[in-house]
Amino acid sequence: MSTKTNIKEIIYIKTTRNFKSIIVLIVLLIFIFILSVFLGPSKINAFEIIKIITSNIFTNKSEFILSTAAHTIIINLRVPRSLLAITTGIILSSSGSTYQAIFKNPLADPYLLGVGTGAGLGAVIGLTIYPSNMSFANVGAALFAFTGGLLAVFLTYNLSNYSKNLNHLSLILAGVAITSILGAFTTLILITQNPEIKPILSWLLGGFSLASWEHFNIVFFSGIPCVILLFSQHNKINILNLDSKQVKSLGINERKTITLLIIASTLSASIAVSQTGIIGFIGLVAPHISRMAWGTNPKYLIPQASLIGAIILLSSDIIAKTILSPTEIPVGLITAFLGFPFFVHLLRKEGNIYG
Amino acid sequence: MDKISCISLNKTSLRFNNSSFELFANITIKEGEKILLIGPNGSGKSSLIQLISGHITPNKGEVLLKNMHKTNKESKEISELISYMPQSPYLPLHFDVFDFVITGRFSNNNIKTNLSENDYKLTMQILKKINLFNKWDSKLAHLSGGEKQLALLAHNLIQNKPIQLFDEPTSNLDPFNQSEVMNLILYSSLNKPITTIVSTHDINFAWKFNRVIMIKNGVIFKDGSPDKIITTKNLSSLYEKEIKVKKINNKHFVLTH
């Protein structure tokens, strides 16, 4: 931009343009949601789908009789599945954006910090003690996952402090170390609990193929309040990107703020993991794309990244359920395939920012 | 009427765990004073600044700000009085210049609400003053060392606090920028009695300030107006090197070789 740029243009770029981008992303997400409900291994024609959805919305449930297979697939499988993918995308991206500010590291995400594996280990322990065919097993897994996730993030944080300076590399190395050790424990449990292995293994790969309203409700009602809390702290998150000395100069109690934010973002991310398995890279890729396109202010970054995360994850799920139809691929594999070229891009182009 | 004492360090001392170094200071600073802090590397300039800013708590003695006793609990109140530019802080390199500088406008009053249009205007003005406006949308990662320092300086000046502390604010700048930046630090808000403390290695700026404090090995070596204490004798014993002060065309110059 030239020196002739005036204040109106700057305010437009920093506020109005961001606001408009959020509207566009919402419209795009709704479009992909509709697509996701329309697509699936069983062929149901569009007209019937519209009829099922409208009848479900406008008919009182008590007088409802029409309970065909198509109806069950749409209302009890595809809709909750798509909503779960959206909610998970929102949670992973907003907690990713928050971790990146807290740890002063644009590479931090729930997966790389060990939260994913920690929550996974917790959930596996939970499911081993309290198998998934019992009632409230999903809630139990969620609680174990939260404990595991929180433990992992504190281990990573403390381990990275061993190198005295909290720099980019030490945090990522600590995350890798914690991820591998917790992953090893998970494998150990899986091997020793032989008969249970298959359902847990498919869950670990991450995916929405088993999604139900129960999963959605657990993730939505515990995760979205955390996301709202994170968003309400956007100015503090903005300041936390600065040096600790400057954070203090601006009157922010860094330790107190960070503790609150870590609990909220780890809680939401862990619960998402407990119900959907380990889905990597969304929390890293979505905030990064958003920052490249529209800037770093968390007031806009959190909603933008959340919507981008939801769009990527929902699209990945559409690919997961259609590309090898009728066989499904775990969505975690799709996001891993998307994540790899992204990392290569980071290494090649932005080494000076992220090095 | 006397000017009110703004900052006072009453027999304040600071020790570091794993060294024999001790900082001792007993000074009173009046409102509106412009103070230059000089001394060799490791003499305690940064520590003295951080004692005042509240980033370090003293082992003995106290630091009074506007006669308010300073403890960590009152860091919100301190943040409304003091801005502090650290020497080489971590910078969020993925921020653009504008977004980085404007974070200086946050205070306890607007942290729960939002930045106003005025904050955007002030950010633009300071970037123009500091000759960085042509890079307002560049990422910090793509700036030179000097430009990063200018952005950091803008982040501090924009806070417009009554007490402003700068730890070597011009160390990465070219000579012309150095002098412009010093003027900006000293005269940016003439209408308010701002107390300014600057540490530097460039002694030639001393005559722009009304008080110079020399620190050597953690103790105050000399304290007074530049005309009185910036002398060949004082500087030579401060740095333990041969340094000359000359007057050419009614202007003072410090010659280090």
Q: What is the mean pLDDT of residues A9-30?
A: 95
Average pLDDT over residues A290-301: 94
Chain B positions in Cβ-Cβ contact with residue A246 (cut-off 8 Å): 84, 86, 89, 155
Average pLDDT across chain A, whole number: 85
Is residue B220 within 8 Å of B199, Cβ to Cβ?
no
CB contact under 8 A, A10 and B93: no
Percent of chain B whose predicted confidence (pLDDT) is above 90: 50
Is B186 a residue whose pLDDT tops 80? yes
- How many beta-carbon contacts under 8 Å exist across A and B? 101
CB-CB: which of A11, A235, A296 is closest to B120? A11
- What confidence category does residue A233 fall into, taking pLDDT thresholds of 50, 70 and 90? very high
A235-262 average pLDDT score: 92
User: How many Cβ atoms are within 10 Å of A129's Cβ, its own excluded?
Assistant: 11
User: How many residues would you count in chain B?
Assistant: 257
Least confident of A146-160, A198-212, A247-261, A338-352: A338-352
Q: What percent of chain A has pLDDT over 90?
A: 41
**Which residues in chain B have Cβ-Cβ distances shorter than 8 Å to A291?**
94
Average pLDDT over residues B105-127: 89
Report pLDDT for B70.
Answer: 55
Pick from A67-71, A287-291, B110-114 the range whose average pLDDT is largest.
Answer: A287-291
Residue with tokens 């010093």: B182
What is the nearest CA distance from B224 to chain A, expressed in angstroms? 29
Residue closest to B205 by CA, chosen among B155, B251, B147: B251
> Least CB-CB distance to A11: which of B76, B117, B159?
B117
ipTM: 0.90
Residue contact A249–B107, C-beta within 8 A? no
Question: Nearest C-alpha of chain B: how many angstroms from A7?
Answer: 7
Among A61-75, A110-124, A255-269, B92-106, whose mean pLDDT is lowest?
A61-75
* Local confidence band at A354 (pLDDT 50, 70, 90 cut-offs): very low
Predicted model pTM? 0.89
Mark yes or no for CB contact B124/A239 under 8 Å.
no
Q: Does A65 have pLDDT greater than 60?
A: no
The pLDDT confidence band at residue B46, using thresholds 50, 70 and 90, is: very high
Domain boundaries, chain B: 1-81+161-230, 90-160
Check pLDDT > 90 for residue A191: no
Count of positions (residues) in chain A: 355
Instruction: Name the percent of chain A lying above pLDDT 70.
Output: 86
Among the partner residues B90, B96, B141, nearest to A295 by beta-carbon distance: B96
Q: What is the DSSP letter of B96?
A: B
**Domain spanning B1-81+161-230 has what CATH number?**
3.40.50.300
Predicted local confidence at residue B4, as pLDDT: 65
Range B200-204 average pLDDT: 91
